[in-house]
Structure 1
Amino acid sequence: MVLQHFDREADPGEVSRFISVHGYAIIDDLADAELMDRLATEVEPFVEASDAGRDEYDGQFTRRTGSLIERCPASRELVMHPTVVDTVRHFLGHATAQQLHLTQLISVGPGETKQKPHRDQMAFDFFEFPTDYHVQCNTMWALTDFTADNGATHIHPGTSATDDATAHDVASGQATMRRGSVLFYDGKVLHGAGANVSNEVRQGVNITYAVGWVRQEENQYLACSQEVARTLDDDLLKMMGYQQGAFALGYVGDQQDALSKLRGEHTKVKVIGDIAQNNDDIRTFVAELGPN
């Protein structure tokens, strides 16, 4: 099965709508070679220090390297790439806020077997979210070319709304793509890494996003030290979770704004009616609730 590709000028809304139907989308050549070269250089020593997986699911010839915000400045450009951020916010726009969920370089080595197909939202304690409610939007950037031989990700299109028995009967297609391209896939679609029968390591930068009210898979407040966090710009910090995730979620101490706390300031959080810019239901609820 051949998967759908978009060019780098694709409209984020169009990409988001495609993901909503098919569970995935691929944008070709979105990051330039210079950025990917910087990232490869920055992450290399940390990959060497990463252990291989513990079992067949993690991959016995696969290394997973996290804390990319702190370790690899180039990764911050991928996290905040305008096309990606706009697509994510469109796809997860049913929630008050969106946040970074995970940063991880996945290095699939020669000899790795095909990963068991799975759905990423199982991380939320296997909670059965409604079929039409998405809690995450994932990306996989190709740091090396993704080929059929080196383990390009298998996607089972259209399985986001199907049960497991039906989903496993749906044929998969591999997300083959050039270096600098990016695969989007939602948290419900059945997918898994392919077998690496080549002599080279396949490397993908897995950056995922979630609605603001769930716990992040990678704890961004410890994965990135406060010393480094204070050097980052506000937009990136808000994406990392230094914002309200929803009504009354994420404040510090006496209802202090988390970003303000990091900056050494003393600003109280905004009420949900202020941060839910286009959500009339929430603003109505807050108005009816009154002061407390």
Structure 2
Amino acid sequence: MTSSNSLPKPTSDRLQMSADLTEHGYCLVADALPESKLTGLQSAVDRTASEDIASGRSFVDEGGANQRLWQLLNRGAEFVELAEHPLALDLAGELLGNRTAYGIENDGLPQFLLSSLTANIAGYGGTPMLMHCDQGYVHEPWPDYPIVCNGGWLLDDFRAENGATLAIPGSHKRNRNPEPGEEKEAIPIEAPAGTLFFFDGRLWHGTGSNRTRTLRRGIFSYFCQPWMRTQENHTASLDPEVAENASPTLRRLVGLDAYGISVGMINGLSPSGLKRADHFSR
């Protein structure tokens, strides 16, 4: 078993982040969210959660104690900004390869997709989430590289007692889904609010049980290879106003731009530059 002294700790050293991702399957980015951004995102998540509860569309799991918020791109400019966070995109590009297709020159935009942008709010008494991999729906055997990756933005201190994510360091090297009983190896990923917990899609993990009376909030930027179907169907769910005002980076991330010369086309053409209404009228 890996010594706790050698496990990833919050760091601002980019080389250390890469080393931790390679060895342990995750890294912890110190102070990824400055205080002003952290406070703004906390308020935005609280507002969004309250709106979902008031409208009767609240999504809960893990024994009814944990609330999930979906398609945050539609819920405020602060979420759109977070989706384009440069360091998160850099880490995702490192894990997913950020490769172009057909030898096309890299245009500087992401060569991968934002599978979803969601929040997970762990409430009191929830049951631990099933230990899983974020690419667990992909049939095995897997290639020797991650097909997806995830970035957890810690909006509160993550501690064992308040439902910190449970994970098994180094499990990404097994390159398979976990089997029953192997969850016993998991440890809580503990770090202060403002930390970015970024991890390989093969890392075994799951939400822990919150035994406190205080909510534990996190936002997850989930990325995938450009040739995969995304968790969130952005084409159907993204608000027209968000799509119309999307930056080139966001358009690429949500699939409103083609990958290479043949993936994500509309009538044989790249959707880049088309308005969303045109997507459904041709």
Preserved CA contact (<8 Å) 1:212 1:244: no
Residue matched to 2:145: 133
Residue matched to 1:43: 45
Per mean C-alpha deviation after superposition, the further-off stretch among 33-42 and 160-169 is 160-169
Distance change (3 Å), C-alpha of 1:263 and 1:119? closer
Preserved CA contact (<8 Å) 1:159 1:189: yes
CA shift, 1:15, in A, is 2.2
Q: Indicate yes or no: 2:208 matched with 1:194.
A: yes
Please state whether the residue corresponding to 1:123 is helix, strand or coil.
coil
CA shift, 1:20, in A, is 2.9
Per mean C-alpha deviation after superposition, the further-off stretch among 130-139 and 88-97 is 88-97
Residue matched to 1:156: 168
Preserved CA contact (<8 Å) 2:155 2:193: yes
CA shift, 1:161, in A, is 3.0
Hey, what's the Cα distance between the residues in 2 that align with 1:17 and 1:166? Answer: 29
Residue matched to 1:62: 66
Preserved CA contact (<8 Å) 1:159 1:188: yes
Hey, what's the Cα distance between the residues in 1 that align with 2:230 and 2:159? Answer: 30
Hey, what's the Cα distance between the residues in 1 that align with 2:86 and 2:231? Answer: 23
Number of positions where the alignment pairs a residue of Structure 1 with one of Structure 2: 258
TM (normalized to structure 2)? 0.83
Preserved CA contact (<8 Å) 1:135 1:210: yes
Structure 1: segments with no counterpart, 5+ residues: 267-292
Please state whether the residue corresponding to 2:119 is helix, strand or coil.
strand
CA shift, 1:107, in A, is 0.5
Residue matched to 2:273: 260
CA shift, 1:52, in A, is 4.4
Hey, what's the Cα distance between the residues in 2 that align with 1:193 and 1:144? Answer: 14
CA shift, 1:201, in A, is 0.5
Hey, what's the Cα distance between the residues in 1 that align with 2:271 and 2:18? Answer: 30
Preserved CA contact (<8 Å) 1:131 1:160: no
Residue matched to 1:121: 135
Residue matched to 2:188: 174
Match of 1:147 among 159, 162, 167: 159
Preserved CA contact (<8 Å) 2:9 2:28: yes
Residue matched to 2:8: 4
String of CA shifts for 1:64-111, please: whole Å, max 9, x gaps.
101111212112222222111111111111643211011111001011
CA shift, 1:121, in A, is 0.9
Preserved CA contact (<8 Å) 1:155 1:189: yes
Residue matched to 1:287: none
Distance change (3 Å), C-alpha of 1:231 and 1:68? same
Residue matched to 2:35: 33
Structure 2: segments with no counterpart, 5+ residues: 101-110
Match of 2:197 among 180, 183, 207: 183
Preserved CA contact (<8 Å) 2:171 2:204: yes
Preserved CA contact (<8 Å) 1:16 1:91: no
RMSD between superposed Cα atoms in Å: 2.5
Please state whether the residue corresponding to 2:273 is helix, strand or coil.
helix
Q: Indicate yes or no: 2:85 matched with 1:85.
A: no
Hey, what's the Cα distance between the residues in 1 that align with 2:147 and 2:9? Answer: 24
Q: Which letter maps to 2:158? A: F
String of CA shifts for 1:36-80, please: whole Å, max 9, x gaps.
2222222323212152435x4xx4211110111121211222222
Q: Which letter maps to 1:152? A: A
CA shift, 1:147, in A, is 1.2
CA shift, 1:25, in A, is 1.1
TM (normalized to structure 1)? 0.80
Hey, what's the Cα distance between the residues in 2 that align with 1:142 and 1:238? Answer: 25
Match of 2:217 among 184, 188, 203: 203
String of CA shifts for 1:16-42, please: whole Å, max 9, x gaps.
343233211111211112112222222
Equivalent residues in 2 for 1:5-24, closer than 5 Å = 5-8=9-12, 10-11=13-14, 14-24=16-26
Q: Indicate yes or no: 2:236 matched with 1:222.
A: yes
CA shift, 1:232, in A, is 2.1
Residue matched to 2:105: none
